[in-house]
Amino acid sequence: MSQTITIDPVTRLEGHGKITLHLNDAGSVENAEFTVTQVRGFEKFSEGRPFYEMPSLMARVCGICPVSHLLASAKAGEAIMAVRIPYTATQLRSISNLAQMVQSHALSFFYLSSPDLLLGMDSDPVTRNIFGVVGANPEIGKAGIGLRRFGQTVIEILGTKRIHTGWIVGGGVTDPLTLDKREKMLAMLPEAYANIKLALKWYKSILPSFKREVATFASEPSAFLGMVGKDGKFELSDGTLSLIDPKGAPIATGITAADFDDVFGEAVEPYSFTKFAYFKALGYPDGSYRVGPLARLNIAKTMGTPLADAELDEFRQLESGPVQGSFHFHQARLVEILYGIEKIEELLGDAEILSPHVRATAGVNCLEGAGISEAPRGTLMHHYKVDDNGLMTWSNMVIATGQNNHAMNRGILQVAKEFVRGNELEQGMLNRVEAVIRTFDPCLSCSTHAYGKMPLAIELRGPGNELLSKIRR
- Residue 449 found at the interface with another protein (CB under 8 A): yes
Is 146 or 371 the residue whose CB approaches another protein more closely? 146
Residues 153-182 that bind another protein (CB under 8 A): 163
Q: Out of 141, 287, 369, 411, which residue is the one contacting another protein (CB under 8 A)?
A: 141
> CB of residue 147 vs another protein: minimum separation in angstroms?
10
- The residue range among 32-40, 68-76, 125-133, 283-291 that interacts with another protein, by the rule CB under 8 A, is 125-133
> CB of residue 123 vs another protein: minimum separation in angstroms?
13
Helix axes 306-315, 329-348, angle to 10 degrees: 170
> CB of residue 335 vs another protein: minimum separation in angstroms?
22
Is 9 or 132 the residue whose CB approaches another protein more closely? 132
- Torsions phi, psi for 36 (to 5 deg): -95, 120
Q: Out of 57, 83, 134, 252, which residue is the one contacting another protein (CB under 8 A)?
A: 134
CB 50 within 8 A of CB 334: no
CB 341 within 8 A of CB 193: yes
Is 62 or 300 the residue whose CB approaches another protein more closely? 62
How many residues touch another protein under the rule CB under 8 A: the total is 25
Is 191 or 368 the residue whose CB approaches another protein more closely? 191
Give me the 266-295 binding string for another protein, x by CB under 8 A, dash otherwise. ------------------------------
Is 103 or 274 the residue whose CB approaches another protein more closely? 103
- The residue range among 84-92, 136-144, 234-242, 437-445 that interacts with another protein, by the rule CB under 8 A, is 136-144
> CB of residue 453 vs another protein: minimum separation in angstroms?
4
> CB of residue 318 vs another protein: minimum separation in angstroms?
30
- Residue 152 found at the interface with another protein (CB under 8 A): yes
CB atoms within 10 A of CB 178: 11
CB 354 within 8 A of CB 179: yes
Q: Out of 131, 193, 271, 284, which residue is the one contacting another protein (CB under 8 A)?
A: 131
Measure the CA–CA gap between 144 and 103, rounded to whole angstroms.
9
- The residue range among 144-152, 276-284, 347-355, 465-473 that interacts with another protein, by the rule CB under 8 A, is 144-152
- Residue 448 found at the interface with another protein (CB under 8 A): yes
Q: Out of 127, 240, 256, 469, which residue is the one contacting another protein (CB under 8 A)?
A: 127
- Residue 438 found at the interface with another protein (CB under 8 A): no
Residues 101-120 that bind another protein (CB under 8 A): 111
Measure the CA–CA gap between 372 and 360, rounded to whole angstroms.
19
- The residue range among 15-23, 121-129, 195-203, 367-375 that interacts with another protein, by the rule CB under 8 A, is 121-129
> CB of residue 148 vs another protein: minimum separation in angstroms?
6
> CB of residue 141 vs another protein: minimum separation in angstroms?
7
Is 20 or 104 the residue whose CB approaches another protein more closely? 104
Q: Out of 1, 28, 82, 126, which residue is the one contacting another protein (CB under 8 A)?
A: 126
Is 12 or 410 the residue whose CB approaches another protein more closely? 12
- Residue 451 found at the interface with another protein (CB under 8 A): yes
Interface residues toward another protein, by CB under 8 A:
111, 126-127, 129-132, 134-135, 138, 141-142, 145-146, 148-149, 152, 163, 448-454
